[in-house]
A and B are shown apart, each in its own frame.
Chain A
Amino acid sequence: MATMTLINAINDGLRAEMEQDENVIVFGEDVGVNGGVFRATADLHQNFGENRSFDTPLAESAIIGTAIGLANHGFRPVPEIQFAGFIYECMDQISTQAARIRMRSGGRFTAPITVRVPFGGGVKTPEMHSDSLEALFLHSPGVKVVIPSNPYDAKGLLIAAIRDDDPVIFYEPMKLYRSIKGEVPEEAYTVEIGKANIVREGSDVTVLAYGNMVHTAEKAADLVEKERGVKAEVIDLRTISPFDLETIITSVKKTHRAVVVHEAAKTGGVGAELSARINEEAILSLEAPVVRVTGFDTPYPLTSIEDEYLPTPERIAAGIYKTLDF
């Protein structure tokens, strides 16, 4: 075991997979010699050479499109899109090409690609860096979406994503890169894709979150316990698509209330899907409508007001009280 930041855990996960499988290749803008704008790929170029970790020209569609072509010859590409807001540039290659090729070709061709993408607010980025666009891929059949919230999960989920034979978008919360540390095994291990994690047990309300919002939700759970003795069960989804419906429904049937938290805009977001599924599967267990505490239906704001845009422990607590006082 070693104490690592989340960014170190990602770097360590990449190193571990590149060591055990020579077909794993890491590339993108500035990921080679420079080691990535966040140092996620630090030393990989130096240790594994130009044919394993390299820079590309600045063009997102081509980064994913060439990854698909490389995958046709046994490679397991781990391309990086520098910031989440730039993912629109490669929407076709992800959602139309990589996502569908197994189905279109009757399994003859596949796209075992892991797209790493830093995302999320709270770090004062320029425009179009912090946007949470995970719902776009929740709505793209054939693509999996994974978002870790701590160093242990980050390494284990990343290795699982790289070993997955289908395309995975691996969203990395920028806010957590260096702000949290945790114990991480030095060897390679996996955390199963599609399995949620109950990070805090409770009996009064289920709070569903992912990424940085898991930590904000935990703070909200502290707050409601202190203020009104409410016991909130906080679930870290870890995988957005396919999400762990079983764990969610089991929890809601126990607590009878649910609050979904995410940074992304409310309408058509992950929260809308989770709320719909809870209604479909557990409506008779609900004591109150499902509440969503989310970003607003605007583009991600400029930085001077991002603290007002992002859900806070207080806003989440207010959402929890709404379900209790219904």
Chain B
Amino acid sequence: MPNVMELKEKTEMFQILNENGKVIKGQKVPDLTDEELKDLYRWMLRIRTFDGRAIKLNRQGRLGFYAPMAGQEASQIASMIALKKSDMLYPSYRDVGAAMYHGLPMENVFLNSRGQIHGMKTPDDVNAYPPQIIIAAQVLHCAGSGWAFRLKKQDDVAICFFGDGATSEGDFHEGLNFAAVNDANSIFFCQNNQYAISVPIHKQMKSETIAQKAIGYGIAGIRVDGNDALAVYQATKEAAERARKGEGPTLIEAVTYRVGPHTMAGDDPGRYRTKDEEETWTSKRDPLKRLRNYLDSKGLWSDEEEEKVQTEVLDEINETIKKVEKAPKGTVAELMDGLYKETPPMVTKQKDEYLAWKEGK
């Protein structure tokens, strides 16, 4: 009988803070200054506040497509804090928190949610692609981008975000394989929130973890507590350091939980999740509570600061939503003009015919 190969599964999870926000014995705290630590928490709080308000605005019909992020703040923000402005971000539709930290204006997020065509125009000084709708398509762009940095001998990195469901796509496999073969400066960041809409992870895959899939590509893989901001920061920082040194890509699995529904388009998690499960994640494993406890233990944060950040965000949201509601919706003519560098005569003809019809109406 031939032997069946036994691959050691990477089941251990990297954690720095325990559920009460205390440093786990033997773990080293990352070299973040007090100000950086506060910035990390401030941004997680901003995103949490933003998310709550965005859901309300959606229910009021003032926002359109929206994919809630509550519960995933540590995964999205602590990872980006470990990177530089010159690094390139490929977000999915749920990663507008990461994108806003990297510089995408809130205005763009709202415009995009409302389906106004100017929302996906990233400012020139922000290295972020528009949020990706096709699951795992951005994994390939991230592989190509990290490969470009390698070819140009730049020490920048490309990072993409995707969920657990994306790891079943062929593009996930192709992207990790291409990046591996070419030692691309890429970080593949999976936010494993345990569900792809209603499908739990055990129906997605037979492997114990997502991190262990890295073994198949011959690249570094790490499983990290995605609700532990310090652990996410440390894991991403080390992945970036490896990439910048030309040591190739890393697959990071951040184990986390989406507190809200999949999107605001009618998904009801009550149909596929138990109340107990949700309660465990919201009361015991909340990423904000955990980091807040740690900050409190160092005397770095106060209720006043907490309130100040929340008020600032809500004010910014109010101003921004009013602004985008008044912003032009765009026209089909603009859509045509923006498709090619030089608009072909056939498209110009359609545009002229359409405008003439509109004029005569």
* Residues of A participating in the B interface, judged by any CB pair closer than 8 Å: 25, 51, 56-57, 59, 61-62, 64-75, 92-93, 96-97, 101-110, 141-142, 144, 164-166, 194, 242-243, 245-246
Contact = CB atoms under 8 A, between A and B. Distances in A.
B129 interface: yes
B270 interface: no
A202 B251 CA distance: 63
Contacts of B335: 103
Contact of A61 (B90, B149, B174): B174
A108 B124 contact: yes
A56 B339 contact: no
A246 to B, nearest CB: 7
B149 A73 contact: yes
Contacts of A66: 140-141, 143-144, 147, 175, 178
Is the interface on chain B under 10, 10 to 19, 20 to 34, or 35 or more residues? Answer: 35 or more
Contacts of A75: 148, 151
Contacts, number: 133
B145 A62 contact: no
B256 to A, nearest CB: 26
- Shortest 4 CB-CB contacts between residues of A and residues of B: A69-B144, A65-B140, A106-B121, A66-B144
B148 A72 contact: yes
A94 B101 CA distance: 30
B137 A70 contact: no
Contacts of A109: 122, 129-130
Given A97-B141, A102-B338, A166-B341, A69 B134 contact: no
A92 B148 contact: no
Contacts of B139: 65
Contacts of B232: none
B32 interface: no
A69 B152 contact: no
A59 B145 contact: no
A242 B347 contact: yes
Given A51-B151, A65-B174, A69-B146, A107 B141 contact: no
A245 B144 contact: no
B186 to A, nearest CB: 9
B148 A70 contact: yes
B86 to A, nearest CB: 11
B347 A105 contact: no
Contacts of A166: 340-341
A144 B347 CA distance: 12
A70 B147 contact: yes
A70 B144 contact: yes
B341 A59 contact: no
- For A106, A109, A194, A243, the residue with the greatest tally of chain B CB atoms inside 10 Å of its CB is A106
B141 A103 contact: no
